Amino acid sequence: MRNAPTILHLDMDAFFASVEQASKPSLRGKAVVVGGLGPRGVVATASYEARVFGVHSAMPMAQARRLAPNAAYLVPRFSLYRAISEQVMALLRELSPLVEPLSLDEAFVDLEAGGAAWDEESARRAGQKLRADIRAVTGLTGSVGLAASKMLAKIASEQAKPDGLVLIEPGTERALLAPMPVRTLPGVGPATGDHLRRAGITTVEELAEAGEDELVRLLGKAHGHALYAMALARDERPVVAERETKSVSVEDTYDVDIHDRLRVGLEVQRLADRCVRRLREAGLSGRTIVLKVRRYDFSTLTRSETLRGPTDDPAVIREAAARLLDSVDTTGGVRLLGVGVSGLADYTQEDLFAQALPSRAAKAPEEISVAEAVVERVEPVERQWRAGQDVRHAEFGHGWVQGSGLGRVTVRFETPQSEPGRVRTFFTDDPALEGADPLPLVPEPAVQVSSEPASLPKSWSGTVGGEATSRP
């Protein structure tokens, strides 16, 4: 393990919820919960104001509503989150060629590889400048951890939350880890944690004291060796710049089980189109089409078909998904559907459409299924307004949906740069109201990346193992 704390871990603070608060002035400082709004929805992210009430990610949305009934509950806007994530990742890549994204809002950076840091002082300066640049470019805050390994850098960023920076000094790692619960270490989930607790091991110090042989006996060779090394603050994992994408997939969980076979077929076609869009956005194609079906009794079936070569053609992927659906019994209802593509490549096989088209063209008109006929005709668009959705009104301008029901939709008209806006109610079919694209959180002319480290308000920058300073 290196000696200098030049591994940086960035974790954006309550990312989805923070984006919504920055985008909607009336929600700043308020409890905001982002996730699926149906009866089976789960929380994706909760703002810090909502966490006070016990709301957290992966919690059932129904439980969150009971804990924080007055919070704002919004659907995710992934296109906006991805755009902001790209801005943040671009800033990270200015620091080093070794950037390892873990998700839209989290990444490791090897500062030494980019010459951005080589000791404690330079690492701290790089972390402070990064936080200032992120605020300038996106208007959001991120927490930074700096240490000599990935494991410790992630622990440091957790301690820095929200909106802070923590650097773990070399030589202080064992003392820092000792009192922490075993769940702090990577790879210790609920099941492993319970297993260790039954063996009388609840802290990292007790994990180290148990010894490698005992941990191997309890957890198996690979897991036991790895956990013992981490308990001693040893983590040799490098920052990996590129992670190979193994598959691209989309899925939907339905609030009410789908029983109608025609509707199931239409949903599979829609998911196939979404999957193709993701493939093309990533510049990829794939050979293997995968269908996932979770039935009413929670049994999950997967079916796959491998083509002659990779494709990103929507017609080919739709037809393959439809053929896979034909082999699945959906009697009793469907809770979840998913379509994915694996066997990825960065090129396409141009003649693949021919393998799907003849089988369809050979059918007599009366042999084409009802589902196929319905897919081909233009369907009427049903206007649905979801809480948090961007809209534009011909007279009042840009706004977002606060709620809808009983044939009406309530809209608050405001923008990221405006004061909290007024609320107005319209009929759901009002021709003057239409969906809109999200507005940028920071106007382009206002984007200025700082060249000097900046101290930010309401944050703290501390050093574990040395003196710590805080700012109210």
The catalytic residue positions are 106
Would you state the pLDDT for residue 349?
57
Measured distance CA(472)–CA(460) in Å, rounded: 8
Would you state the pLDDT for residue 361?
39
pLDDT tens profile 109-132: 999 999 999 999 999 999 999 999
Would you state the pLDDT for residue 223?
83
pLDDT tens profile 66-76: 999 999 999 99
Contact 81, 41 (CB under 8 A): no
Query: What is the mean predicted confidence (pLDDT) over 310-319?
Result: 91
Tell which wins on pLDDT, 164 or 347. Answer: 164
Query: What is the mean predicted confidence (pLDDT) over 30-56?
Result: 92
Structure tokens at 413: 């008209």
pLDDT tens profile 361-409: 333 333 333 333 333 333 444 468 999 999 999 999 999 999 998 899 9
Measured distance CA(381)–CA(390) in Å, rounded: 17
pLDDT tens profile 211-255: 888 888 888 888 888 889 999 999 888 998 866 667 899 998 887
Report the candidate in 150, 148, 146, 144 with the shortest Cα–Cα distance to residue 170.
148
pLDDT tens profile 263-278: 999 999 999 999 999 9
Measured distance CA(278)–CA(274) in Å, rounded: 6
Would you state the pLDDT for residue 244?
66
Look over the chain and give the mean of its residue pLDDT values, rounded to a whole number.
Answer: 84
Tell which wins on pLDDT, 34 or 355. Answer: 34
pLDDT tens profile 168-207: 999 899 999 999 999 888 878 888 888 889 989 999 999 8
Would you state the pLDDT for residue 254?
85
Residue 105 has pLDDT above 60, yes or no: yes
